[in-house]
């Protein structure tokens, strides 16, 4: 039995393994696909980690509020700092510049976070509600009331549509939901620390129900004009207890936080109004 | 399959007829012509729950003024969608009526929608943009194209979340036969009911009723109660038509500032889309 158990453990950790194997004990819809529905929240990890940044790269979430390069920190048992992003030299210069302009983070202005940032919110802060039927999987994010409706018919991307969230097309590969995301508008930041992608971003996401209360989320982000090689990310979504519900994240309505980003731009201009 | 295709081809005609009948019946609640007996909606996979899934849109222009308005260049007139009281007028208290007139006077800048704020309930339902109903047995949510607002409907077995004033309210629902009845509370007083400045207070309580009256026609009714602003509860009613064009979808509707600092909604498929000219700091070759 030992090798079987080991293989199962590896399958839980490594994608693409045993895709055709149907696990009997997962909750399923009448169409046979795993039932991803419910309210979920990121447990740990991801690009954003626990970085709560400022324009000089301070990570307020790091132990002692340590100063770093703004690439994520380790706090209270949080994830290790992610590996440096494989930027092209031009993109690295742009990223350093953006690090000084945190107030330009689109999310600071309540814009849609994009993919994968919508799911990759700082751990445990904002849940996502999944509603699924035989034709689509919808992701309703509390953060920025961002919505993605993913048809699971493997249909092609449109030719004339660009958006913050791009265009998502899904398909089932065994028990894994594979979502291909393209057609981004090029304005997305990956986090509060100036990390970014442009309109050539392409994301391949994999949603896999490990057990009733756990979804393994993996994403491969490619962007040939920004990164020299693809970025891989992985984290789990944990089911939120049924007695809890999503709250409303009305961001723009009565927005008051932009002034905290910097006194030079956001703050002074805003107070002058 | 033949039957299905025929239904799709006929759909726009059915929707159009239904809309006309509904407009004709405004102000005369309970007319039986609008309520074809025995329409049986399709069911979800549980074989029980009425299937409201799809993209829906109000065809009228009640979003301008739910009490009705004359036509203008490029704008069709609308009769009042207020069905109770019978005169089609919102039963304001005197001071609330005065605030409504002030709202109307300043609507070009004071309308929360101008500032890209979420529309609130019931306004989000009869906007000029579509909504999509997401549904599975035990789950019900509405995604509005306008400002990508959405509402997750929770079963009525739980009490309202009552610790905040929300833009889209807090919704509890139950089924009465094939009618979905939703109870909405915890709403802010900052939302308007239309572009004309009709309004309510934080005490507002909305009871919505969603009912399929044809395969492609969804009747929507909202009973609005607010003892601070109105002398009595009142009811509006309209119909939503199914958007049947192949490939139709909710598009991402983000509200951005243009060069003049004016906020406006931009659809990514809109040729005037500001996003395309907004790569000011990071320009790259256009995608092939």
pLDDT in tens, A189-207: 988 778 899 989 999 999 9
Closest-CA distance, A11 to chain B, in angstroms, reads 30
Domain range annotation of chain B: 2-242, 252-288
Cβ contact (<8 Å) for B252 and A246?
Answer: no
State which residue of chain A sits closest to B252, comparing Cα positions.
A163
- Regarding predicted confidence, which is higher, A82 or B101? B101
In total, the C-beta contacts within 8 angstroms joining chain A to chain B are 118
State which residue of chain A sits closest to B144, comparing Cα positions.
A147
- Mean of all residue pLDDT scores within chain B: 82
Average pLDDT over residues B30-49: 74
Neighbours of B102 (CB within 10 A): 12
- Look at residue B6 in the predicted model and tell me its pLDDT: 32
Fold topology of A34-43+87-272: Lipocalin (2.40.128)
Closest-CA distance, B117 to chain A, in angstroms, reads 6
Residues of chain B found within 8 Å of residue A134, distances taken between Cβ atoms: 45
Fold topology of B2-242: Lipocalin (2.40.128)
Q: In this predicted model, what pLDDT tens digit does every residue of B169-209 receive, in sequence order? A: 999 999 999 999 999 999 999 999 999 999 999 999 999 99
Is pLDDT at A123 greater than 80 in this prediction?
A: no
Is pLDDT at B21 greater than 70 in this prediction?
A: no
A138 closest CB neighbour out of B117, B134, B167 = B134
* Spatial distance between the Cα atoms of A206 and B203, rounded to a whole number of angstroms: 44
Closest-CA distance, B203 to chain A, in angstroms, reads 18
Q: Which of A132, A145, A146, A194 to mutate to test the interface with B (most CBs of B within 10 A)?
A: A145
Average pLDDT over residues A238-264: 76
State which residue of chain B sits closest to A92, comparing Cα positions.
B282
Q: In this predicted model, what pLDDT tens digit does every residue of A32-76 receive, in sequence order? A: 999 999 999 988 655 554 444 433 444 444 444 433 333 443 333
Query: What Rg do the C-alpha atoms of chain B give, in angstroms?
Result: 20
- Look at residue B260 in the predicted model and tell me its pLDDT: 64
- Look at residue A110 in the predicted model and tell me its pLDDT: 87
DSSP class per residue in chain B: -HHHHHHHHHHHHHHHHHHHHHHHTTT-TT-GGGS-TT----B-TTSSSB---EEEEE-S-TTT-TT-B--BTTB--B---EEESTT----B-HHHHHHHHHHHHTHHHH-GGGGT----TTGGGGSSS-EEEEEETTEEEEEESGGG-EEEEEETTSPPP-SS-BSS-EEEEEEETTEEEEEEE-B-SS-BSSTT--B--TT-EEEEEEEEEETTEEEEEEEEE-TTTBSS-EEEEEEEEE--STT--PPP-EEEE-TTS-EEEE-TT-TT-GGGG--SSS--PPP-
Is pLDDT at B114 greater than 60 in this prediction?
A: yes
* Spatial distance between the Cα atoms of A15 and A4, rounded to a whole number of angstroms: 17
Does residue A162 belong to the interface with chain B, where contact is any CB pair within 8 Å?
yes
Is pLDDT at A126 greater than 60 in this prediction?
A: yes
Is pLDDT at A233 greater than 80 in this prediction?
A: yes
pLDDT-derived band at B35 (thresholds 50, 70, 90) equals low
- Regarding predicted confidence, which is higher, B57 or A253? B57
Does residue B115 belong to the interface with chain A, where contact is any CB pair within 8 Å?
yes
Is pLDDT at B285 greater than 70 in this prediction?
A: no
Residues of chain B found within 8 Å of residue A199, distances taken between Cβ atoms: 279, 284, 287
Q: In this predicted model, what pLDDT tens digit does every residue of B221-240 receive, in sequence order? A: 999 999 999 999 999 999 99
pLDDT-derived band at B279 (thresholds 50, 70, 90) equals very low
Is pLDDT at A20 greater than 50 in this prediction?
A: no
State which residue of chain A sits closest to B137, comparing Cα positions.
A133
Is pLDDT at B15 greater than 50 in this prediction?
A: no
* Spatial distance between the Cα atoms of A273 and A269, rounded to a whole number of angstroms: 7
Cβ contact (<8 Å) for B154 and A245?
Answer: yes
Token reading at B147: 């400002």
- The model's pTM is 0.82
pLDDT-derived band at A176 (thresholds 50, 70, 90) equals very high
* Spatial distance between the Cα atoms of A221 and A203, rounded to a whole number of angstroms: 5
- Look at residue A264 in the predicted model and tell me its pLDDT: 45
Residues of chain B found within 8 Å of residue A37, distances taken between Cβ atoms: 136, 139
Does residue B173 belong to the interface with chain A, where contact is any CB pair within 8 Å?
no
Q: In this predicted model, what pLDDT tens digit does every residue of A74-117 receive, in sequence order? A: 333 344 444 578 999 999 999 888 887 777 888 888 899 999 99
């Amino acid at each position: 039995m030992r090798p079987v158990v080991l293989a199962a453990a590896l399958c839980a950790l490594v994608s693409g393994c045993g895709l055709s194997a149907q696990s009997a004990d997962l909750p399923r819809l009448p169409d046979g696909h795993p039932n991803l529905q419910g309210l979920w929240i990121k447990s740990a990890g991801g690009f954003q980690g626990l970085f709560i940044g400022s324009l000089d790269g301070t990570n307020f979430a790091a132990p002692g509020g340590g100063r770093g390069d703004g690439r994520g920190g380790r706090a209270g048992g949080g994830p290790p700092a992610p590996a440096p992003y494989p930027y092209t030299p031009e993109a690295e210069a742009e990223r350093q510049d953006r690090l000084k302009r945190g107030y330009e983070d689109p999310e600071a202005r309540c814009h849609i976070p994009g993919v994968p940032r919508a799911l990759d919110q700082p751990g445990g802060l904002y849940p996502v509600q999944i509603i699924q039927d035989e034709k689509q999987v919808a992701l309703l994010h509390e953060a920025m009331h961002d919505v993605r409706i993913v048809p699971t018919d493997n249909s092609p991307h449109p030719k004339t549509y660009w958006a913050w969230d791009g265009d998502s097309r899904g398909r089932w590969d065994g028990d894994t939901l594979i979502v291909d995301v393209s057609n981004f508008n090029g304005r997305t930041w990956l986090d509060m620390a100036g990390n970014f992608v442009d309109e050539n971003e392409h994301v391949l996401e994999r949603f896999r129900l490990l057990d009733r209360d756990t979804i393994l989320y993996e994403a491969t982000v490619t962007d040939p004009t920004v990164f020299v090689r693809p970025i891989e990310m992985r984290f789990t979504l944990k089911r939120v207890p049924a007695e809890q519900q999503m709250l409303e994240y009305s961001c723009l309505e009565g927005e008051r936080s932009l002034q905290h980003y910097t006194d030079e731009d956001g703050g002074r201009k805003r107070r002058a109004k | 399959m033949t039957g299905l295709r025929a239904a799709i081809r006929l759909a726009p005609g059915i929707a159009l007829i239904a809309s006309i009948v509904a407009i004709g019946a405004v102000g005369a609640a309970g007319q039986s012509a609008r309520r074809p007996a025995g329409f049986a909606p399709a069911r979800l996979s549980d074989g029980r729950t009425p299937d409201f899934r799809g993209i829906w849109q109000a065809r009228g222009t009640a979003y301008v003024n739910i009490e009705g308005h004359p036509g203008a260049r490029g704008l069709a007139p609308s009769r009042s969608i207020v069905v109770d009281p019978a005169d089609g007028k919102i039963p304001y208290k005197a001071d609330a009526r005065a605030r409504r007139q002030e709202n109307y006077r300043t609507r070009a800048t004071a309308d929360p929608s101008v500032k890209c704020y979420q529309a609130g309930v019931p306004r989000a339902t009869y906007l000029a943009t579509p909504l999509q109903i997401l549904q599975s047995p035990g789950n019900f949510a509405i995604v509005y194209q306008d400002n990508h607002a959405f509402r997750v409907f929770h079963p009525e077995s739980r009490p309202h979340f009552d610790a905040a004033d929300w833009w889209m309210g807090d919704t509890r629902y139950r089924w009465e036969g094939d009618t979905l009845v939703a109870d909405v509370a915890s709403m802010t007083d900052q939302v308007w009911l239309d572009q004309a400045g009709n309004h309510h207070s934080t005490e507002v309580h909305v009871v919505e009723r969603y009912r399929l009256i044809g395969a492609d026609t969804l009747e929507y009714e909202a009973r609005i109660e607010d003892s601070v602003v109105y002398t009595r509860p009142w009811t509006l009613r309209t119909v939503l038509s199914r958007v049947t064009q192949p490939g139709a979808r909710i598009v991402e509707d983000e509200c951005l500032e243009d060069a003049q600092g004016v906020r406006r909604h931009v659809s990514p498929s809109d040729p005037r889309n500001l996003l395309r000219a907004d790569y000011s700091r990071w320009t790259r070759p256009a995608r092939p």
